[in-house]
């Protein structure tokens, strides 16, 4: 029974990790920008959802859409106005720029929201399936995470804009020659990354206590998931997230909670050496 | 002619400014006691540090409104000189040095937490500057041989034996304990301390593990605790950890007759984030508004401090507010007893402090720890904090959780 619970815990955690990393992976894969702002955008999404729920009585599932859209606009504007100016420069330059933006956003949130932990207390209850406990809010979080991930997959595969994003990711020059406005696609991609961060933040606010200090925790998880699963694809983030969730859960059970994070990092190191493209990665995205 | 007169005018103006500055500066320096405060107004410690800033400003306003501090028969006003060290310990040390050498403050208040207090204490010691620490309780800060460091909080170690003895007395059926602590300075020392105290008291330590900083899922640790079936679950960490752990305990059906969490339940945000799930959780704290002390200083009773604080902030104060406000009270008391601002004499007056304030009794051990400090045990009942111990201030009895 304990082992089944362990697997259930791992899968639910893994789905959230996948959702957390997907926007980060997409931006890295398509723009070659390591978006240090991603963790703070996620925290911002969480705080906006909490504020909508706590101060205005808006249900978090409704707030999620408004928050995601607002962050899409923010992400689009950031890319178009700031990052676009240096997007062709070495990755260290864009990384430094997004790090600076992260510091600004982080301190803004400290001042505006304070670092006090907050949580959307829906308390939806627990499903007791013969001694296996499945918290409903986590289950809902997992379903939402999978739905968002699936939706993004469909958008990338079926829609015109999605195919343009994939085209830019595969060959920027060829995409330009085919008439794709690369700058616009870059901004849309960054906007989608921010949208996913905002939506994930809304999901996390229902499951975890949010504090402004979580930005680098989330960013670190996104890094590990991308390296395990592979960059720039929905399936990479999904596989990476699920694997990391399961590894942390199993290691925490057998080795003790203090080794759960270490096990995730160890797997990341092994994959960096043995499979630089990750478990599902495409060659060229090492 | 015109040039000369204009020139003379500027000269006269500049001379007037210079005379005002020269005559004004020493008078200002003589009339005001400057207290330096490196504060973490931005960064991860911003919330806690802002609590310090609020009560220090309250204390300064209260002292100045009452005419100031009596220094050898002369009433002197108080001025707080503060800088934001952005939650960066090294920057706290640099700013403490700047406060001492550039701003020439008379005394220092320590920043939030044991870690940063320890860093600033080494600077204060170098300049023989009395330093009052209101939020540092780790013995490791006070066992450095510092002569100018004086704390308000009772030492961590004492709390473990007190709470183990209390729980064993009030709930004799408790035979085993599971301990789950954050792998960080203060929470780890609390977790290891309670494990030793529990073993010494004859309890079976059924589970004893640490979780790393940055953990955002506690399912595996809590599932193992559930399997161990302890009578008492003791968790240490910071507020956001403890909120998450309590929530996941409920999610995974992890229960015990006594659940203790250190030190989040003392804060209002813990109950706000958990709602009914907070009920039944026990903890301990260094101070609670329900205590009722009478003593020296601008707040003669606990109630007078609580009343002033609520009028200003519209919430009840917690132990950080109280201990930091009391830091001002004991400094003023020491200055008045010393009758001078001389560092050595004020330091000696602090060392011989044996008074009661609205915060509680203050008496210093040789290492600068407040050996008279009390440690109330609390429990959240109906989303309100109730004091279970000590008997003199208790307003409720322990309620078992199942």
CA–CA gap between residue B187 and residue B120 (Å, rounded): 21
Contact assessment for residue B135 and residue B52, using Cβ atoms and an 8 Å cutoff: yes
Please report whether residue B13 resides in a domain: no
Please report whether residue B350 resides in a domain: yes
Based on the fold, state whether residues B148 and B45 are members of the same structural domain: yes
Based on the fold, state whether residues B132 and B225 are members of the same structural domain: no
CA–CA gap between residue B49 and residue B38 (Å, rounded): 9
Give whichever of A11-15, A42-46, B290-294, B369-373 has the largest mean pLDDT: A42-46
Based on the fold, state whether residues B139 and B166 are members of the same structural domain: no
Closest-CA distance, B54 to chain A, in angstroms, reads 15
Contact assessment for residue B154 and residue B205, using Cβ atoms and an 8 Å cutoff: no
Helices (H), B104-252: 114-126, 139-142, 156-170, 185-200, 219-228, 239-251
Nearest to B46 among A115, A253, A258 (CB): A115
High-pLDDT (> 70) share of chain B, %: 92
Q: Which residues of chain A have pLDDT under 70?
A: 281-286
**Tell me: the pLDDT tens digits for B233-246?**
999 998 888 999 99
Would you say how long chain B is, in residues?
402
**Tell me: the pLDDT tens digits for A25-49?**
888 888 888 999 999 999 999 999 9
Based on the fold, state whether residues B162 and B91 are members of the same structural domain: no
Based on the fold, state whether residues B150 and B258 are members of the same structural domain: no
Chain B residue with minimum CA distance to A13: B217
CA atoms within a 13 Å half-sphere pointing along the CA-CB vector of B400: 12
Please report whether residue A119 resides in a domain: yes
Contact assessment for residue A260 and residue A14, using Cβ atoms and an 8 Å cutoff: no
Based on the fold, state whether residues B118 and B233 are members of the same structural domain: no
Based on the fold, state whether residues B202 and B103 are members of the same structural domain: no
- The predicted pLDDT at position A282 comes to 61
| Number of domains present in the structure of chain A | 1
- The predicted pLDDT at position B16 comes to 47
**Tell me: the pLDDT tens digits for B165-195?**
999 999 999 999 999 999 887 788 889 999 9
If phi over 0 gives left and psi between -120 and 50 gives alpha, with beta otherwise, what is residue B235? beta
Q: Is A157 helix (H, G, I), strand (E, B) or coil?
A: helix
Query: Any idea what the Cα angle at residue B322 is, between residues B316 and B328, rounded to 5°?
Result: 140
**Tell me: the pLDDT tens digits for B190-234?**
899 999 999 999 999 999 999 988 788 898 899 899 999 999 999
Please report whether residue B123 resides in a domain: yes
Based on the fold, state whether residues B249 and B180 are members of the same structural domain: yes
Based on the fold, state whether residues B300 and B279 are members of the same structural domain: no
- Of A17-31, A219-233, B12-26, B145-159, the poorest mean pLDDT is in B12-26
CATH number of the domain that residue B96 is part of? 3.40.50.2300
Please report whether residue A204 resides in a domain: yes
Give the pLDDT band of residue B326 (cuts 50, 70, 90): very high
Report, as an integer, the average pLDDT of B144-171. 90
CA–CA gap between residue A186 and residue A189 (Å, rounded): 5
B67 CB-near residues (< 8 Å, 6+ apart): B75
What is the residue range of B224's domain?
Answer: 158-285+377-389
Please report whether residue B16 resides in a domain: no
CA–CA gap between residue B192 and residue B207 (Å, rounded): 12
Nearest to A260 among B220, B243, B276 (CB): B220
Query: What's the complex ipTM?
Result: 0.78
**Contact flag B46-A114 (C-beta cutoff 8 Å):** yes
Give whichever of A13-27, B62-76, B267-281 has the largest mean pLDDT: B62-76
What is the Cα A96 distance to its own chain's centre?
Answer: 20
- The predicted pLDDT at position B20 comes to 45
Cβ-based contacts under 8 A for chains A and B: 113
Q: Which of B43, B187, B55, B45 is nearest to B109 (CA)?
A: B55
User: Which comes out higher in pLDDT, residue A150 or B326?
Assistant: B326
At residue B281, does pLDDT exceed 60?
yes
B224: chain A residues, CB-CB within 8 Å = 253, 257
Please report whether residue B63 resides in a domain: yes
Based on the fold, state whether residues B316 and B256 are members of the same structural domain: no
Report, as an integer, the average pLDDT of B54-80. 96
Q: What are phi and psi of B168, to 5 degrees?
A: -65, -35
Q: What is the dihedral of CA A14, A18, A21, A23, to 10 degrees?
A: -160
Chain A residue with minimum CA distance to B216: A208
Please report whether residue B3 resides in a domain: no
- The predicted pLDDT at position B19 comes to 43
What is the residue range of A48's domain?
Answer: 23-214
Beta bridge partners of B125: none
Based on the fold, state whether residues B182 and B302 are members of the same structural domain: no
- How high does pLDDT run on average in chain B? 88
Closest-CA distance, B169 to chain A, in angstroms, reads 32
Chain A residue with minimum CA distance to B239: A117
Mutation for testing the B interface, residue in A18, A19, A40, A117 having most B CBs under 10 Å:
A117
* Pair type for strands B149-151 and B176-182: unpaired
Burial letters A33-55, b for 16+ CB under 10 A, else e: bbbbbbbbbbbbbbbbbbbbbee
CA–CA gap between residue A18 and residue A25 (Å, rounded): 10
B251: chain A residues, CB-CB within 8 Å = 126, 133, 135, 138
Based on the fold, state whether residues B346 and B381 are members of the same structural domain: no
| Number of domains present in the structure of chain B | 2
**Contact flag A6-B223 (C-beta cutoff 8 Å):** yes
**Contact flag B244-A208 (C-beta cutoff 8 Å):** yes
């Amino acid at each position: 029974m304990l082992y089944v619970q362990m697997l259930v815990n791992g899968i639910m955690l893994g789905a959230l990790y996948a959702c957390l990393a997907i926007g980060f992976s997409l931006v890295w894969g398509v723009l070659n920008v390591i978006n240090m702002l991603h963790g703070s955008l996620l925290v911002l999404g969480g705080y906006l959802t909490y504020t909508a729920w706590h101060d205005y009585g808006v249900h978090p599932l409704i707030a999620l859409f408004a928050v995601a859209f607002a962050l899409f606009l923010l992400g689009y504007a950031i890319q178009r106005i700031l990052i676009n100016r240096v997007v062709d420069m070495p990755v260290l330059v864009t990384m430094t720029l997004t790090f600076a933006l992260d510091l600004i956003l982080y301190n803004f949130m400290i001042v505006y929201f304070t670092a006090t932990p907050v949580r959307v207390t829906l308390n939806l209850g627990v499903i007791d399936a013969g001694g296996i406990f499945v918290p409903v809010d986590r289950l809902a979080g997992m379903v939402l995470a999978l739905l968002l991930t699936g939706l993004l997959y469909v958008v990338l595969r079926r829609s015109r804009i999605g195919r343009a994003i994939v085209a830019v990711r595969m060959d920027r020059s060829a995409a330009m020659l085919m008439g794709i406005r690369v700058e616009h696609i870059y901004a849309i991609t960054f906007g989608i990354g921010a949208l996913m961060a905002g939506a994930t933040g809304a999901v996390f606010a229902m499951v975890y206590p949010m504090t402004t200090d979580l930005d680098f925790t989330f960013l670190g998880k996104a890094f590990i998931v991308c390296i395990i699963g592979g960059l720039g694809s929905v399936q990479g983030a999904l596989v990476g997230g699920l694997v990391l969730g399961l590894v942390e859960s199993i290691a925490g059970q057998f080795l003790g909670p203090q080794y759960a994070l270490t096990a995730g990092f160890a797997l990341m190191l092994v994959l960096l050496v043995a499979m630089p493209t990750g478990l599902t990665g495409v060659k060229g995205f090492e | 002619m015109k040039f000369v007169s204009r020139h003379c005018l500027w000269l006269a103006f500049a001379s007037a400014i210079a005379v005002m500055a020269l005559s004004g500066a020493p008078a200002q320096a003589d009339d005001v006691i400057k207290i330096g405060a490196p504060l973490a107004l931005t960064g991860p410690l911003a919330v806690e540090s802002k609590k310090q800033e609020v009560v220090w400003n309250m204390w300064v306003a209260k002292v100045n409104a009452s005419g100031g501090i009596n220094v050898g028969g002369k009433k002197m006003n108080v001025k707080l000189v503060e800088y934001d060290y952005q939650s960066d310990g090294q920057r706290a040390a640099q700013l403490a040095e700047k406060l001492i050498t550039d701003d020439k403050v008379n005394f220092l208040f320590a920043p939030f937490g044991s870690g940063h207090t320890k860093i600033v204490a080494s600077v204060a010691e170098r300049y023989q500057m009395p330093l009052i620490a209101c939020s540092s309780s780790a013995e490791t800060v006070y066992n450095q041989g510092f002569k100018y460091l004086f704390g308000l909080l009772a030492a961590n170690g004492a709390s473990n034996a007190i709470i183990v003895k209390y729980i064993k007395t009030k709930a004799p059926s408790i035979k085993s304990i599971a301990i789950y602590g954050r792998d960080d300075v203060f929470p780890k020392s609390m977790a290891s301390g309670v494990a030793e105290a529990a073993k010494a008291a004859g309890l079976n330590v059924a589970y004893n593990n640490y979780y790393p900083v940055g953990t955002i899922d506690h399912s595996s640790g809590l599932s193992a605790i559930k399997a161990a079936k302890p009578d008492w679950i003791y968790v240490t960490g910071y507020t956001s950890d403890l909120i998450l752990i309590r929530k996941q305990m409920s999610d995974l059906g992890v229960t015990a007759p006594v659940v203790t969490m250190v030190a989040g339940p003392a804060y209002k945000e813990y109950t706000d984030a958990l709602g009914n799930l907070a009920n039944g959780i026990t903890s301990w704290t260094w101070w609670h508004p329900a205590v009722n002390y009478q003593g020296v200083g601008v707040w003669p009773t606990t109630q007078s401090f609580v009343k002033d604080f609520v009028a200003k902030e519209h919430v009840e104060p917690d132990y950080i507010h109280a201990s930091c406000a009391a830091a001002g009270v004991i400094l003023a008391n020491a200055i008045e007893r010393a009758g001078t601002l001389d560092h050595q004499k004020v330091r000696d007056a602090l060392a011989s402090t044996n008074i009661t304030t609205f915060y509680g009794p203050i008496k210093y051990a040789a290492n600068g720890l407040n050996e008279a400090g009390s440690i109330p045990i609390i429990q959240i009942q109906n989303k309100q904090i109730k004091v279970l111990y000590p008997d003199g201030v208790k307003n409720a009895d322990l309620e078992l959780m199942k």
